[in-house]
Chains A and B, each alone.
Chain A
Amino acid sequence: MTQSMTGTDDIDGLAAEYVLGTLDASERATVSARRQREPELDTAIRSWQRRLAPLNNAIPEAAVPSSTWQKIETRITGASSRPGGSAEVVDLRRRLKVWRTSAITASAIAASLILVVGVRELTPQPKPKNLVAVLQKDAASPAFLVTVNIEDRLMTVQPVAAKREAGKSYELWIVHDSLGAPKSLGIIDDAAAMQRPTLAAYKRDVIEGATLAVSLEPEGGSPTGAPTGPVVFAGKMIETSN
């Protein structure tokens, strides 16, 4: 590259330094304003963001103060804070670590419904109100998002990217070592988000420690009451604080 002073390179150099972070305050403000009306500059900035993004991997995570989540909630609610938020976040953080470890074996879970949910909390934790499970085939295919209100056991299933095969049904199962065999939670073919009270029969700690799995069954659901088709999506319950 020999024409380092051409207009194009100047814009690109500016974009690069903007993304790198070395511009001073007024230069940053100028670039930030210019990119709104200069698509070329905006594109150059986005390209540099992509190029340098792997550097983010070098930065170690840092423990977030437990009070921060509640402050964020308050800000997005624009109302007074809700009680109990931060304690739940601490609890959730701990559990998420467990979940992350489990996520490594997600494909193994998907391969078979026989699994051991081994890690339990040793001490009772403040109970959260909501649980979420992202059901996916593998890293490339999130399919359903399931939210559970732990207070009333109300479950909402939202399809994210699931496409149904003709003549087949998706059946949702709850899996927990205390349950023995997977228990059906019903057919989840409807395109719209759905709510079903079918978790009422399960204890709180079972729901909290459960894995949800979706199997592909003949239309209308498994004829036997147990999964007969392949498990196509699975995910562990994790807690959220609202």
Chain B
Amino acid sequence: MQTPQEISSLLALVARKDRAAFGAVYQATSAKLYGIVLRILKRRDIADEVLQEVYVKIWERAADFDPKMASPITWMATIARNRALDEVRRKKPDSIEDHPEVLNIASGEDLAIDEILKGEDGKRLYDCLSRLEPDRAQMIVLAYCEGLSREDLGTRYSQPVNTIKTWLRRSLLQLRTCLSP
């Protein structure tokens, strides 16, 4: 991965419609963004389509990127996640039986949890997640990384959807309090 500063510089050029810089941004970030959307969408065909839309958006909106507000990868990951989540929530996904190509990556088992510790913000978040009850922390990670809905989580944890919602809100509030300076 190129440094955030390099990608920020490249995005500044993309904002001026520099194709070469856009190509470099794509090369540096597409595997990451594809990982993000694929994990949420579970299907390569849909993830491929969504990834295209994400980069078209990055091309169109590069001028909106403000390095003071977020790192470039966070900015791009946000675009990718939003688009993927809109897509996955849009309709009930087809059942796995209908699509044998669906990836079996909903378990979260191959997530690189230690990687969360990268950087100061990551260490703080990890620390605060560790203070939640283990299943609540796991729930947050699964929702964020795997795109699980309240219904998915309800099934997984054998709880009514309203209980899941209450748990999530409470856990998020605890996180916010813990992360407050």
A residues sitting closer than 8 Å to B (CB atoms) are 1, 4, 9, 12-13, 16-17, 20-25, 28, 46, 48-65, 68-69, 71-72, 75-76, 89, 92-93, 96, 100, 103, 130, 132, 134, 136, 139-142, 145, 147, 158, 160-161, 238, 240-242
Give the distance to chain B from A93, nearest Cβ to Cβ, in Å. 7
Name the one of B31, B115, B174 contacting A57, with C-beta atoms under 8 angstroms.
Answer: B115
Q: How far is the CB of A63 from chain B (nearest CB, A)?
A: 7
B9 at interface (Cβ–Cβ under 8 A)?
A: yes
Q: Which of B8, B52, B121, B122 contacts A72 (CB 8 A)?
A: B52
Q: A56-B73, A238-B27, A242-B19 are in contact. List 14 more A-B contacts (CB 8 A).
A: A1-B173, A12-B176, A13-B172, A16-B169, A51-B121, A54-B116, A54-B125, A56-B74, A59-B111, A62-B39, A64-B31, A76-B22, A134-B24, A142-B9
Given the interface pairs A22-B149, A54-B116, the reply to whether A17 lies near B5 with Cβ below 8 Å is no
Determine if A58 and B116 form an interchain contact, defined as CB atoms under 8 angstroms apart.
yes
Helix, strand, loop or mixed for chain B's interface?
helix
13 A–B pairs (Cβ distance < 8 Å), ordered by A? A17-B172, A21-B148, A22-B164, A46-B69, A52-B125, A53-B121, A55-B144, A57-B122, A59-B36, A76-B56, A92-B23, A100-B1, A141-B5
B interface residues (Cβ-Cβ under 8 A, vs A): 1-6, 8-10, 12-13, 19-24, 26-28, 30-32, 34-36, 38-40, 44, 48, 51-52, 55-56, 59, 69-71, 73-74, 77-78, 81, 85-86, 89-91, 110-113, 115-116, 118-119, 121-122, 125-126, 140-141, 143-145, 147-150, 153, 164-165, 168-170, 172-177, 179
Q: Are A51 and B169 in contact (CB-based, < 8 A)?
A: no
Q: Contact: B169 with A142, CB < 8 Å?
A: no
Interface centre among A21, A22, A64, A93 (most CB of B within 10 A): A22
Given the known A-B contacts A24-B89, A51-B175, are A240 and B35 also in contact in the complex, defined by CB atoms under 8 Å? no
C-alpha gap A12/B179 in the complex (Å): 14
**Chain A residues with CB under 8 A of B143:** 20-22
Known pairs A4-B170, A51-B125, A56-B36; A134 contacts B31 (CB<8 A): no
Query: Which residue of chain A has the shortest Cβ distance to B76 in the bound complex?
Result: A56
CA separation between A140 and B70, bound complex, in Å? 15
Q: Which listed residue, B59, B89, B111, touches A58 by the CB 8 Å rule?
A: B111
Return chain B residues, CB-CB under 8 Å to A49.
70, 74, 78
Q: Choose from B2, B5, B23, B176 the contact partner of A51 (Cβ within 8 Å).
A: B176
Q: For the complex, what is the distance from the CA of A63 to the CA of B35, rounded to whole Å?
A: 8
Bound: A21/B147 CA distance, A: 6
Q: Does the CB pair A68–B48 fall under 8 Å?
A: yes
